[in-house]
Chain A
């Protein structure tokens, strides 16, 4: 069990989403930063789609009632385990009774905490993700609250008290932290209304003139900048949209949709971000500047496949690291040729 002492700003149980129900109006949802979430799971020996915690800007205080392997990934943060700094992007053995305090994120917006065995909440319509709008899934269909006790599944890694205290390997999964104070570049595949924009509007979107507004959540991010002219032509009929779709409402301030997006939308569509920039999108916070770069669809899909191959190699490298170790702890260095790298 995980006891929640303080829930943080918005902490929810997520997996990789509830697919197959968009025709009924249910958003796929799931972890916003899909790669960080998958890597956290792989680090503790879980299936990449196991349920973990997604934290937002300011994290929770938790007590782990029994010992287990944990890993955190996502935006750079300070986390303490029994008052000692806890490194991220690697597996950590946390003895029973460990107190985990997640401070604010220094940069980025979301962090992920995976535990060996995953958060063992029931599957609702095929997923353990919390859908806040429908009020289903995750822990009782809502964000965590103080006093909640979350069940944990059976871990594939040994949990027979390998160490009295916390311990972790010297290796970690490398990851690219976004350079501070520069616009975040989001590559996107242009949509039907991109070509109808005047050059000045496309220029503004390409040069970081838009910032993330305070109104941003898992449903979508309002952007603020120079008002863009409404595309010409008749009013658009509602049609399917997806995570990363860049809409242009009549006020000229674009909306970038998140994973909890409405399944259909009627605003003009300027484009949809490439899936390889999903992590950058997930880590945007209010005030961040964004620049949008068009990317041909074939290139975006080739990059997507490269990314999936990298994650696959990482999973193999981590399995090797565990199997070479003595079975009670991951060894301190990854085996030759299996340098874990996420990006």
Chain B
């Protein structure tokens, strides 16, 4: 028996499927598997499929579906034998070069002090882990990553920075992520990547996709400037 999924309306043009109550890899994996099954089923009238930690939100055209008819179609997909569905392609692994500390990571020292580690040890632990893109949100291309070393967990800054440069790599609670755009932000910034996470002229526009795996690789400032194409 599979645990029951909950389908609830989100207004009259969207609905939300909740697959679990707890944040974690197991439920998030189910969310992405369900998204793949729905996409493979080729249902018409779907405008957007938005995964999050434990939910999948479907934006649909109420001219083509009612909440009930779409709910029934989804229930069939939810209960379909997962083995019969196309085997998921192995998750894509994306390497993100990061220049840690200094002007690129002004909060690295604070994070190290908070963790009781040296700055080098923080870099080793942060760059040593394999992260999972739970979903993208907040701003275009912003990844919510799971898999941060528990030792590096640190609350947001009491006062957010007015401007965090694009590419900044930060920590907020048990989350780590990369700012695609220069925005105000309260995350503890430990480094910066020269890669562009969101470029509307690129196809696809985002470097990362939901369910990708991410590895950070420490680079020197000279390499940062080379990749960023200028001093």
Q: Which residues of A contact B (CB under 8 A)?
A: 19-26, 28, 124-125, 131, 133-137, 188-189, 191-192, 234, 237-242, 244-245, 262-264, 269, 271-275, 297-298, 300-301, 304-305, 308
CA distance A22 to B31 in the complex (A): 15
B59 near A272 (CB under 8 angstroms)? no
**B68: nearest chain-A partner, CB-CB:** A298
Closest to B58 in A: A240
Q: Given the known inter-chain contacts A238-B144, A239-B16, A239-B53, please indicate yes or no for A134 contacting B198, CB distance below 8 A.
A: yes
Complex alpha-carbon distance, A261 and B124, angstroms: 37
Q: A25-B138, A275-B11 are in contact. Are A134 and B181 (CB under 8 A)?
A: yes
Q: Is the CB of B11 within 8 A of A23?
A: no
Known: A240-B16, A245-B11, A297-B67. A25 touches B136 (CB 8 A): yes
Nearest chain B CB to A289 CB, angstrom units? 22
- A134 / chain B contacts, CB cutoff of 8 Å: 139-140, 181, 198, 200
**Does A263 lie within 8 Å of B137, measured CB to CB?**
yes
**Chain B, range 1-35, C-beta contacts under 8 Å to A:** 8-14, 16, 18, 21, 23, 35
Question: How far, in Å, is A185 (CB) from chain B's closest CB?
Answer: 16
| Between-chain CB contacts (< 8 Å), 25 pairs | A20-B48, A23-B136, A24-B204, A124-B200, A125-B205, A133-B139, A133-B140, A134-B140, A237-B53, A237-B55, A238-B52, A239-B16, A239-B18, A242-B13, A245-B11, A263-B138, A264-B52, A269-B10, A272-B9, A272-B10, A272-B11, A273-B11, A274-B11, A298-B68, A301-B62
* CB neighbours of B198 from chain A (8 A): 24-25, 134
Residue B176 lies at the interface, judged by CB distance under 8 Å to chain A: no
Q: Nearest Cβ distance between residue B152 and chain A, in whole angstroms?
A: 21
Interface pair B14/A240, CB less than 8 Å apart: yes
A171 → chain B closest CB, angstroms: 28
Q: A134-B200, A308-B63 are in contact. Are A264 and B10 (CB under 8 A)?
A: no
Query: Per a CB cutoff under 8 Å, which of B21, B57, B144 touches A240?
Result: B57
In the complex, residue of chain A having the shortest beta-carbon distance to the beta carbon of B18: A239
In the complex, chain B residues 137-189 whose Cβ is within 8 Å of any chain A Cβ: 137-142, 144, 180-181
Interface centre among A136, A188, A264, A269 (most CB of B within 10 A): A264
Tell which of B8, B12, B48, B205 has the most Cβ of chain A within 10 Å.
Answer: B12
State A308–B52 Cα separation when bound (angstroms). Answer: 31
| Residues on A with beta carbons closer than 8 Å to the beta carbon of B9 | 189, 272, 297
**B193 in the interface, Cβ–Cβ < 8 Å?**
no
B7 CB to nearest A CB, Å: 11
Checking A19, A191, A262, A298 against B8 with a beta-carbon cut-off of 8 angstroms, the contacting residue is A191
Question: Contact: B11 with A22, CB < 8 Å?
Answer: no
Question: B100: CB under 8 A from chain A?
Answer: no
Q: Is the CB of B210 within 8 A of A23?
A: yes
Shortest C-beta distance, A164 to chain B (Å), equals 43
Contacts of B59 in A (CB 8 A): 19, 22, 28, 242
Q: In residues 39-57 of chain B, which contact A (Cβ within 8 Å)?
A: 47-57
| Given A25-B137, A238-B52, A274-B11: 13 more A-B contacts, CB < 8 Å | A21-B205, A23-B35, A24-B141, A24-B205, A136-B200, A240-B56, A241-B10, A245-B11, A264-B137, A297-B12, A301-B66, A304-B62, A304-B63
Which of the residues B50, B181, B204, B206 comes within 8 Å of A264, measured between beta carbons?
Answer: B50
B131 sits at the interface (CB 8 A): no
Counting CB contacts under 8 A, is B216 at the interface? no
Contact assessment for A24 and B136 in the assembled complex, using a CB-CB cutoff below 8 Å: yes
7 cross-chain pairs, A with B, having the tightest CB-CB distances, nearest first: A240-B57, A272-B11, A264-B137, A300-B12, A240-B50, A22-B48, A239-B55
